Structure 1
Amino acid sequence: MSAEPHPTLPPVRLPSDAELARHALVAPLFARAVRLARWAGPHTRVDAGGELAAAQLPEAAAALGFGPADEEGPMLASQAWRVAVDTGLVDVTDPGDGDDGAGDEDGDEEYGTAVPGEDLALVTGGAPGDVLGLWLAALDTVLADAAVPDLDDLVDALDEGGEIDFDRLDWNPSREADFLDGVLANLYLLTVSEHGASDGPIPLPVLAASMVIPEDMGEPTDAVLEQVSEAMMRLDDQFRQLEPIGLVEFRPVDEALMAEADDEEFAAAGSTPGSADGEADDEDVSRYGLVRLTPLGLYGIRARMLEAGVTAPAVGELADKGADALLDAVSGYPEGAAQAEIEQWLSGRELPDAVAELLAAARGADEGGPLRRLRCQQALAPAGPEAERAVRAVLDDPELGGLARVWLSERGVADVPAPDGAMVFWLTVDTIAAQLAADGETAELPLLMRSLTEHHTGFFDQVWRVDHPATAYVLEAMGRMHPDKKAAKEARKAAFKARSRQT
């Protein structure tokens, strides 16, 4: 899979391997491949490419439960057979290999044979990881097939001699595979993003537009809208092929709509459809196609990303790491994912020891220190009385003493020493620096700034002296964002003093 590494790719929450394996076994295409592998035997005939002989397709379709009236049965059997061969569920012998080849009734054509492969035993006797490995191999086959033009395009591209004219077809296998990989990477990112569309399916035009329209483009041109429409129809065909392997849940484009809508309507769908008041009409959106990665699909796309060198974390993979690795990693996670990872990390440890380890890992005057302390505070939030001794142990620590006092005070613990002025100002700078690192300049941050500063007379006359590496940076942000204009002006002056002090 070709995809660009994404340094801040959010972690995905996946079910257990056992549950994912169960999903894989009931995916229609994979289940059909397994059934055909069990059906294969001395009677089976394959051509030089390992495909079932045409005369045997009806028999294979019947083995899958399709009757003579099921027109799609032979096609579905052929597809399932290809998956069975490619995954090793079936072993084939090419025509002419030893004495295994067999001719047709007239002896004009030789066929190879096929038997169940050794890997078929893994379906029932292997570990969940073995089943998932077979499913990933099946996914590779389906993705390769999905990147091939449809039959109508191939027929249109035939030259006078019946050969495919690739120039007329305008098909580049590598380009098509990269396009589909890019689509799936975008769909993955939309799914795992905390503020993305993870709770619902993605409108197909939105996904197509993400591949065609540059982020910095204003009003799309007619040519770009036409490209979006073409990409959307290509995705409609591809997702129809990807759904049977269990990768996605897909609602195709309404065929009646295809005849009604023009390119501009396709491109606009999913972004501004609906009623006159701007509310999206779910039924209108769904007519343009909807797609969602399944949990098995998330697993599969993540596996391909990892193979391509993309950093794609999963919640729970830090459970056996130290607190320093945990805090460094979750500092870049969205808050919900960070909390889930922290909870799994804590669940396998004695709480007093874990709290002490977290506090030690939270120290540091480096740029990432404020956010580590914020995540440490988040980790300590659900801790009970058994954590008190470890928290009290850092009351005199210049970096952790403020955090410890907040934690103890929130639990109504008696005899918590009041912080001195230097600690109060240091904690204020650290808190704002952490919020800026976590979420940037959000709408809520000015309110936090007001809350932290309005209770301290002469705050800006003193805060610029705070020995914190982020002091000037925080004051500059306060100068831009503080809701009180007078306070914002004082913050800018204090920021200048802090910069001068650093130099």
Structure 2
Amino acid sequence: MSAEPHPTLPPVRLHSDAELARDALVAPLFARAVRLARWAGPRTRVDVGGELVAEQLPQAARALGLDAGDEDSTARASQAWRVAVDTGLVDVTEPEEDGAGAGAADADADTAGTGAHGTAAPGEDLALVTGGAPGDVLDLWLAALDTVLADAAVPDLDGLVDALDAGGEIDFDRLDWNPGREADFLDGVLANLYLLTVAEGGAADAPVPLPVLAASMVVPEDMGEPTDAVLAQVSDAMMRLDDQFRQLEPIGLVEFRPVDEELMAEAADEELAGPGGREASDGPVEPDDEDVSRYGMVRLTPLGLYGVRARMLEAGVDAPAVGDLADKGADVLLDAVSYYPEDSAQAEIEHWLAGRDLPGAVAELLAAARGDDEGGPLRRLRCQQALAPAGPEAEPAVRAVLDDAELGGLARVWLAERGAADIPAPDAGMVFWLTVDTIAAQLAADGETPELPQLMETLTAHHAGFFERAWRVEHPSTAHVLEAMGRLHPDRKAAKEARKAAFKARSRRP
């Protein structure tokens, strides 16, 4: 878990497990793995490692409805088989290594015996595809995702062949490839894509341009104008991501528009142009605003959001989801949603209220909103947000706090907005306390927004000598609020008075 007291990531809105399981079952690669698991039988032969022998790959391709004579089709069949084995959809019995090579050139697999080859059969987990709960299907899909991510972190086959030493082992130094580093890079890319998707004002359902994602991994946060060397690294990262996202799309993790092949050709032409052209590592030219989609676009699918979050949780990252707090107390709810974006906070509150006895839930929320700690104003703001849709059945619980020093102002606002009768007038102390609390909550929620000066002006306009009274308010945020008003209040005279009041408030506190 994160060492921070509150999550550093905004909550994600996930589809239901049933919807996600349906998405998993129709993901092309997972669906092919299921079909091959059903196809596996007594005559299915595997080699060391559980891979299908070469002679059976065309048959596997035909079982998938693919062209058995096409190299890409047999590669897809091989990948689907590997996923089926790794997820437990297929059980394999590998051959003894001493005899692994014997009989490899036997007669056609339709008539040959198993010989020295291993065997395969549908695994027990295959039954979960149709007979298991949605969570069982998602667990299988997550296992498949692990396999695909591991494959995506491996360089292309040509690079591997070139890096083989005399003993047939991969020379990683020669390949300039570190498996752990590559896996961490891909996890980092997916984490950044996740954050861009869930962040308020972020990508949401819109695809992310590949250059933006590549730059997020390469360009230092404190760098102004990127250097040519950094731009070259961004282009290299783009091309790596282009290849990796092509591999990740069939498992249903992302929707991906690859880099335009014409741009790739242009880059190759410039390389052939000699010293006057750009270096090969530069990749495609820098994108312009008019046609950024040509440089690749990617978005996480709903299933992808689920998958990346699951991996982040496994790694110990605090990645909340809307609905996580439905069974928690009101104190936990208000503390957590205080740091959520407003729309996510509202969604979480609605989940929490659903199925609860409303009068009891309102009383619990009001009790949890109390407190003179730093987070108190924001808890009360979220409590007010939670009470906004409540109907007449909430009124007794709200009236019960009319005399409460911290909640009485909130209760009067709620009752007045509903046209309730017999609302006792607040005393001056409660009015000033509520003003400080309201501004403190807005500062904590959104910072110094353009709308805040108008709120300050509205709250102070009807009170002559406001600042002479305000600095005396017994609220932990009084000085902080007055300092903000001194910076932001649109009336210069009022702003000056606010600064003087802030100084007095600071002076009176021990």
TM range (shorter): over 0.9
Q: Aligned partners of 1:90 and 1:402: how far apart in 2?
A: 65
Cα shift at 1:70:
3.7
Q: Aligned partners of 1:3 and 1:331: how far apart in 2?
A: 17
1:196-345 equivalences in 2 (<5 Å): 196-260=202-266, 268-269=286-287, 273-274=288-289, 281=290, 284-345=291-352
**1:449 maps to 2:449:** no
Alpha carbons 2:59, 2:68 under 8 Å: kept: no
**1:41 maps to 2:41:** yes
Cα shift at 1:170:
0.5
Alpha carbons 1:93, 1:100 under 8 Å: kept: no
Q: Which runs of 5+ in 2 are unaligned?
A: 108-113, 268-277
Alpha carbons 1:355, 1:380 under 8 Å: kept: yes
Which of residues 380, 384, 396 is equivalent to 2:387?
Answer: 380
Q: Aligned partners of 2:490 and 2:163: how far apart in 1?
A: 64
Q: Let me know the Cα RMSD of the aligned residues.
A: 2.4
Change (3 A) 1:109 1:121: closer
**1:128 maps to 2:134:** yes
What does residue 188 of structure 1 align with? 194
Which of 260-269 and 465-474 deviates more? 260-269
Would you identify which runs of 4 or more consecutive aligned residues in structure 1 move more than 6 Å? 2-6, 97-102, 262-265
- Aligned-partner SS, 1:239: helix
What does residue 160 of structure 2 align with? 154
- Aligned-partner SS, 2:43: coil
Cα shift at 1:452:
1.2
What does residue 23 of structure 1 align with? 23
Superposed CA deviations along residues 158-204 of structure 1, whole A, max 9, x for unmatched, are 45776543222110001000000000000001101121110300000
What does residue 270 of structure 2 align with? none
Alpha carbons 2:88, 2:123 under 8 Å: kept: yes
Q: Aligned partners of 1:198 and 1:267: how far apart in 2?
A: 27
Superposed CA deviations along residues 245-268 of structure 1, whole A, max 9, x for unmatched, are 000000000010123367889685
Superposed CA deviations along residues 202-232 of structure 1, whole A, max 9, x for unmatched, are 0000000000111110110000000000001
Q: Aligned partners of 2:285 and 2:471: how far apart in 1?
A: 52
Q: Aligned partners of 1:200 and 1:138: how far apart in 2?
A: 26
- Aligned-partner SS, 1:167: helix
Cα shift at 1:454:
1.9
Q: Aligned partners of 1:175 and 1:415: how far apart in 2?
A: 68
Which of 392-401 and 488-497 deviates more? 488-497
The one-letter code of the counterpart of 2:73 is: G
Cα shift at 1:97:
9.0
- Aligned-partner SS, 1:43: coil
The one-letter code of the counterpart of 1:287 is: R
1:406-421 equivalences in 2 (<5 Å): 406-421=413-428
Change (3 A) 1:35 1:411: same
Change (3 A) 1:241 1:334: same
What does residue 137 of structure 1 align with? 143
Cα shift at 1:99:
12
What does residue 76 of structure 1 align with? 76
For normalisation by structure 1, the TM-score amounts to 0.93
Cα shift at 1:7:
3.1
The one-letter code of the counterpart of 1:151 is: L
For normalisation by structure 2, the TM-score amounts to 0.92
What does residue 355 of structure 1 align with? 362
What does residue 496 of structure 1 align with? 503
Superposed CA deviations along residues 4-37 of structure 1, whole A, max 9, x for unmatched, are 9883211111111111111101100000001101
Cα shift at 1:404:
0.6
How many residues matched? 491
Superposed CA deviations along residues 419-440 of structure 1, whole A, max 9, x for unmatched, are 1111111011101111111111
Superposed CA deviations along residues 316-352 of structure 1, whole A, max 9, x for unmatched, are 1211111111111111110000000111111111211
Q: Aligned partners of 1:369 and 1:390: how far apart in 2?
A: 20
Q: Aligned partners of 2:401 and 2:54: how far apart in 1?
A: 76
Q: Aligned partners of 1:102 and 1:116: how far apart in 2?
A: 25
Alpha carbons 2:34, 2:84 under 8 Å: kept: yes
Q: Aligned partners of 1:246 and 1:486: how far apart in 2?
A: 60
What does residue 60 of structure 1 align with? 60
The percent of aligned pairs where both chains have the same amino acid is 81
Q: Aligned partners of 1:97 and 1:172: how far apart in 2?
A: 28
- Aligned-partner SS, 2:71: coil
- Aligned-partner SS, 1:321: coil
- Aligned-partner SS, 2:135: helix
Q: Aligned partners of 1:168 and 1:100: how far apart in 2?
A: 30
What does residue 112 of structure 1 align with? 118
Change (3 A) 1:379 1:498: same
Which of residues 417, 427, 432 is equivalent to 1:425?
Answer: 432
Q: Aligned partners of 1:240 and 1:165: how far apart in 2?
A: 26
Q: Aligned partners of 1:267 and 1:465: how far apart in 2?
A: 62
Alpha carbons 2:236, 2:282 under 8 Å: kept: no
Alpha carbons 2:37, 2:122 under 8 Å: kept: yes
Alpha carbons 2:36, 2:81 under 8 Å: kept: yes
Q: Aligned partners of 1:136 and 1:315: how far apart in 2?
A: 21
Superposed CA deviations along residues 50-102 of structure 1, whole A, max 9, x for unmatched, are 11000000000000001235431100000000000100111111113999998
Q: Aligned partners of 2:413 and 2:77: how far apart in 1?
A: 65
Alpha carbons 1:205, 1:266 under 8 Å: kept: no
- Aligned-partner SS, 2:206: coil
Q: Aligned partners of 1:395 and 1:286: how far apart in 2?
A: 57
- Aligned-partner SS, 1:408: helix
Alpha carbons 2:440, 2:481 under 8 Å: kept: yes
What does residue 51 of structure 1 align with? 51
- Aligned-partner SS, 1:227: helix
Alpha carbons 1:101, 1:112 under 8 Å: kept: no
Alpha carbons 1:46, 1:114 under 8 Å: kept: yes
Alpha carbons 1:222, 1:264 under 8 Å: kept: no
Superposed CA deviations along residues 233-291 of structure 1, whole A, max 9, x for unmatched, are 1000000000000000000000101233678896853xxx33xxxxxx3xx11111000
Q: Aligned partners of 2:32 and 2:3: how far apart in 1?
A: 34
